[in-house]
Structure 1
Amino acid sequence: MIFIDNEGQTNPKLNLALEEYALRNFDTSTDYLLFYINEPSIIIGRNQNTLEEIHLEYVEDKHIHVVRRVSGGGAVYHDLGNLNFSFITNHDGKSISNFKKFTAPVIRVLNQMGVQAELKGRNDILVNERKISGTAQFSTGKRMISHGTLLFNTDMAEVVKALQVKMSKIESKGHKSVRSRVANITEFLKNPMTMEEFKSQLLQGLYEASEPFETYRLTEKEWEAVHKLKAEKYDLWDWNFGRSPKSNIQRTKRFDIGEIDMRIHIDKGHISDLTIYGDFFGEKPVSELEQVLVGLAYNREDLSKALAKVNIQNYFGKLDKAEFLSLLYGSDLD
């Protein structure tokens, strides 16, 4: 096993690019372990609809990164209090969906620290029925990654504010809130420690269970390739939002000019259809405005540019353009 030094990088797009680069390009005769810590970010599962998983307006206001990963599973919140681990190995035909194989070493070290962790359900690590880690996997056919989060000292308030957790998921877990079913590892440690101390102890514990690790540091040329992958994939709106499956959005709010009810159909991150209902009065048919917006990428920048050329009051009366944009693109409104 070789430990990959990410040199303290905290940009999630760069760390995910590094992980994928190592998966596809490093020596296939060797197993690798990668640790990384990300700035505040939401990491979206490969098959998820990004817009349904995040509180969009809050995420944008707080400049929280939104990045899609190559593996499946659900959306997770990362910050500097969350340690991510990734095992990169050969795909032997038996390891995909075998989460126990890759979580067992981590659980063993947590137990040594006095944290009574255990694997439960499909892919979660729990302590006292509260989740401290979620894991996911991805395979290229020959190689695979099995990676996960470790909630060490994450800001749980931000988890709730940034993620759009579905009520059905909360109900299926039998709990009333997100906070009631997740926990930080710091809550269960007998002796307080810093993130760096935790990371060091975890790494040392994993060393002890195998042959001595060696640490690998990327060459300048390899870092250039990682940055290139980041720029060509993980930086792109098309990857992070445009890959989302089709979705239907309804946004409704009552203004002084009357109620506006929007039905927005999104396909590959673009508005494929838009219908605006309401009891407002306008000089021009609202269908003209609908046609201006259909086909645009569903992001604030593109919508704002298109609306800059539009006199909103022609369609709704005395309505501020910023209010219309907030309804069209902001968080769900009453």
Structure 2
Amino acid sequence: MRTIINNSNKPQYNLALEEYVFKYLDIDDDFAFLWVNEPSVIIGRNQNTIQEVNNTYIQKHNINVVRRITGGGAVYHDFGNLNFSFITRNVEDNVNNFRKFTQPVIDMLRSIGVPAEFSGRNDITVEGKKISGNAQSYYRNRVLHHGTILFNSDLDMVNNVLNVKIDKIESKGIKSVRSRVTNILPYINKPMTLKEFQDELLKFILNTDDITPYIYELTEEDQKIIRQLMEEKYLKWEWNYGESPDFNLQKSNRYPGGKIDVRLNVSEGYIKSCKIYGDFFGQEDISNLENLMINQLFEENTIRKLLEYEIDKYFFNITLDDFINCLFY
């Protein structure tokens, strides 16, 4: 396994670097690297940005809003939050296996006194409170798994910058966003800065006391492509917000695999446009499913037959019956 030392705090660059290593770096090695963003909201691949963020607060405080390529929900990053990325070969037991990728992080946290455990579909918790959320993406023969670690983050900012849905809070049996998250710093059994924690975690993941032999140095050509990806994608309004077409039918529901929010424009009984939002995870790009729905008769048996062998590509732990129930009941 290799690593990249990335000292950038710009989320647009950091996500471009991550995508470059994931999709375009022509090296067969697995990678693990750590990074810290300046204050930012990182939006899930399938989310409606306008609905997820408090735009007035974000603009007033000059907080970045950037969409990532993985599913899941919106998260707040700042200088007290550490991000980790694993990029590996797409072997069968890596797909949707959040527990496997989070285990090294959990083991390291336990080694410094933090009683961390895997929880739900994609979280690491401490005493029932979330300290890490995780997400995945798949491209050809590669898996990207990344996650957050709340080290000493400003937890009150989560309420300020995000419009967290009541159904998500209630589904977890809690009263507020602030009450369901915590930082790991109070649990650590020795004095430690975020940088010291970052260094220890990377050594633990690589199973070494000297990371030098494992470092991949980005070339000028690497950097050129990363900057181009940043400028053409992660700095663009079209990617981070995107246009929301007009719809005359909206259906949404929450399932064990996450929330799905379907917007349809139905005319004379046929689907003319389709947009699917949510914090779900899936292996294929949801835009393929949206395109599949266009020009189909908006009728249960038609949609059920259309998606009978397709639904598992787009949703993990959301069934065809769940999707049909969301649309028609």
| TM-score of the alignment, normalized to the shorter chain, above 0.5 | yes
CA deviation vs aligned residue, 1:277-303 (integer Å, no higher than 9, x gap): xxxxxxxxxxxxxxxxxxxxxxxxxxx
Per-residue deviation, 1:189 = 1.2
Number of residues of Structure 1 aligned to a counterpart in Structure 2: 251
Taking the aligned partners of 1:119 and 1:138, their CA distance within structure 2 comes to: 19
Equivalence for 2:53: 54
C-alpha contact 1:48 1:244 (8 A) present in aligned 2:
no
C-alpha contact 2:203 2:209 (8 A) present in aligned 1:
no
C-alpha contact 1:44 1:74 (8 A) present in aligned 2:
yes
Equivalence for 2:43: 44
C-alpha contact 1:50 1:244 (8 A) present in aligned 2:
no
Equivalence for 2:195: 196
Counterpart code for 2:184: I
2:142 is the counterpart of 1:143? yes
**2:79 aligned counterpart, secondary structure:** coil
2:76 is the counterpart of 1:77? yes
C-alpha contact 2:44 2:69 (8 A) present in aligned 1:
yes
Taking the aligned partners of 1:134 and 1:197, their CA distance within structure 2 comes to: 21
C-alpha contact 1:28 1:143 (8 A) present in aligned 2:
no
Which consecutive unaligned segments of at least 5 residues does structure 2 have?
Answer: 249-262, 266-329
Alignment of 1:1-334 (within 5 A): 1-6=1-6, 8-208=7-207, 214-242=214-242
Taking the aligned partners of 2:63 and 2:128, their CA distance within structure 1 comes to: 29
Per-residue deviation, 1:72 = 0.4
CA deviation vs aligned residue, 1:68-118 (integer Å, no higher than 9, x gap): 000000000000110000001111133111001100011111110110101
C-alpha contact 1:83 1:151 (8 A) present in aligned 2:
yes
Taking the aligned partners of 1:224 and 1:120, their CA distance within structure 2 comes to: 39
Counterpart code for 1:222: D
In the superposition, the TM-score normalised over structure 1's length comes to 0.71
Per-residue deviation, 1:208 = 1.9
**2:192 aligned counterpart, secondary structure:** coil
Taking the aligned partners of 1:165 and 1:101, their CA distance within structure 2 comes to: 28
Taking the aligned partners of 2:106 and 2:244, their CA distance within structure 1 comes to: 33
Pair 33,167 (structure 1): closer, same or farther in 2 beyond 3 Å: same
> Cα RMSD (Å) of the superposition?
2.3
Which consecutive unaligned segments of at least 5 residues does structure 1 have?
Answer: 249-264, 268-334
In the superposition, the TM-score normalised over structure 2's length comes to 0.72
CA deviation vs aligned residue, 1:207-232 (integer Å, no higher than 9, x gap): 22899761112112211110000000
CA deviation vs aligned residue, 1:228-276 (integer Å, no higher than 9, x gap): 000000010000000668679xxxxxxxxxxxxxxxx999xxxxxxxxx
- Ranges of 4+ aligned residues in structure 1 off by more than 6 Å: 209-212, 245-248
C-alpha contact 2:203 2:210 (8 A) present in aligned 1:
no
Counterpart code for 1:4: I
Pair 170,27 (structure 1): closer, same or farther in 2 beyond 3 Å: same
CA deviation vs aligned residue, 1:42-69 (integer Å, no higher than 9, x gap): 0000000001111110001111000000
Range with bigger deviation, 208-217 or 183-192: 208-217
Taking the aligned partners of 2:126 and 2:161, their CA distance within structure 1 comes to: 24
Taking the aligned partners of 1:35 and 1:111, their CA distance within structure 2 comes to: 19
Per-residue deviation, 1:192 = 2.6
Pair 211,5 (structure 1): closer, same or farther in 2 beyond 3 Å: closer
Per-residue deviation, 1:15 = 0.2
C-alpha contact 1:85 1:147 (8 A) present in aligned 2:
yes
C-alpha contact 1:41 1:64 (8 A) present in aligned 2:
yes
Taking the aligned partners of 1:39 and 1:31, their CA distance within structure 2 comes to: 26
